[in-house]
Amino acid sequence: MSIRHTWPVIIVRTAIIIPVFVIGCLAIVLTQLVGLFIFKNNPSSKQAVINETKTHFVILLAGLTSIINPCKFAITIDTNSVPHGSSFNVDSSNHIHTLLQPNSVIISNHQIYTDWLFLWFLTYTSHLSNAVYIILKDLSKIPILGYGMKNYNFLFLSRKWEHDKVVLTNQLLEIDANARGHGPANGYRLLSSTDKEVKKWPQGVDNSKIWPYELILFPEGTVPSDRTTKKSAEYIASKGLPPLKHVLLPRIRGLYLALQKLRNTVEVVYDVTTAYSGLKEDEYGELVFSLKKFYLKGHGPPVVNYFIKGYKLKDIPLGKEELDSTVEASDEDLQKFEDWLLKIWYEKDQLMDNFYKTGKWGIKDDTQTKLIVGDFKLKNHFEFLKPFIVLLTVLLLSYTFLSLGYTLTFGRK
């Protein structure tokens, strides 16, 4: 047993990590509140502050996670399809450097509940962590964290499609408008619309101030488990499809809606196949690397393995363009999109099967790939202080004013 997994180390580490995380979250929310107050009449500056706190959060969580569970990233890039894929590299200090395109959608199979953190860290290696939006179940009611995530404009799902499609449409159209420079981040106002449910933003592009995005979503909607795997298998069988071994059948509506509403600005869709070293092919990642085992006991994957492939929007069947309506797509359009996504998911299942059996993805010989292996760590130790800068400044100013007041009050006596 590693010394990291002994109970004395676990107790001391937890006693330090939890307060630091809580104080860090408070510091990030304080930064948001200060920015929203100071720049209440300056939409661009408000957006810049909120975006910066996105980077603060991934720095805080990734920094603490790398202490609890130091691990490596092994990223295999399909250089034929991923823009600038051949330029991905690792420096002499084992820091990962990638060149993800702005205005992109990242899709991945779901294995454990920290998948989103690792993908957010991937955008951090491309200097795009401040542009991340995540589609996930509703976490808005979590104290402190929920408020911060709402300020991030993360896309929360209630799992009721009639409600979710309206909420998602409005948030996606806002993200798209900001990416064109014609959204609320630049002070643009909504246009009048006959549709009371859906918000409408000015069309066109203003390149003087655009706000890129990196949208992360998991089409499966949840992680594999006995219950979800059985449910997925039953549905697959009812549709007469071949069984899936390592992934769940993806849901199509959320991704379809996202690509439709962002089709004016999307540059590329990154398909990330995720497999964790330390897992056997018949094990569920969320049991082996549960949040409790991961953050309390320090049992995390030794290597995060990614295979990344890129898809141009023109190669994805999206049907008719409907940017300001929640009208459902036709069955024919949805079927074409489902066929496209299922093809990707069955390929993903085969890649994972190859990986768990051989330790390699088993890529076809005619596919040009590049492998980089680096550490899951921040760019430097000083970055970890970024989330706390405003809090430390407020405390320092408060101390200075209190000291000055004390001196003026009692110094005269």
Q: Which residues pair with 307 in a beta bridge?
A: 76, 273
- Residue found under tokens 């799992």: 159
Rounded CA-CA distance 262/265 in Å is: 6
CATH 3.30.70 fits 70-378, yes or no: no
Per-residue pLDDT at 323: 45
Domain regions of the chain by residue span:
70-378
Quote the pTM value.
0.94
Per-residue pLDDT at 194: 61
Least confident of 195-204, 355-364, 377-386: 195-204
C-alpha dihedral sign at 337, 220, 362, 74: positive
- Please count the CA atoms within 13 angstroms of the CA of 274 that sit on its side-chain side: 24
pLDDT tier at 326, thresholds 50, 70, 90: low
* Nearest residue to 94 via CA among 126, 72, 127: 72
Q: Tokens 């203003």 appear where?
A: 206
Which residue's structure tokens are 């093809």?
A: 343
Q: What percentage of the chain has pLDDT greater than the value 70?
A: 96
The dihedral formed by the CA atoms of 98, 103, 107 and 110, expressed in degrees to the nearest 10: 80
Per-residue pLDDT, averaged over 200-225, amounts to 94
Q: Given the structure tokens 């990030």, which residue do they identify? A: 28
pLDDT digits (tens, 9 = 90+) for 24-41: 999 999 999 999 999 999
Average pLDDT, the chain: 92
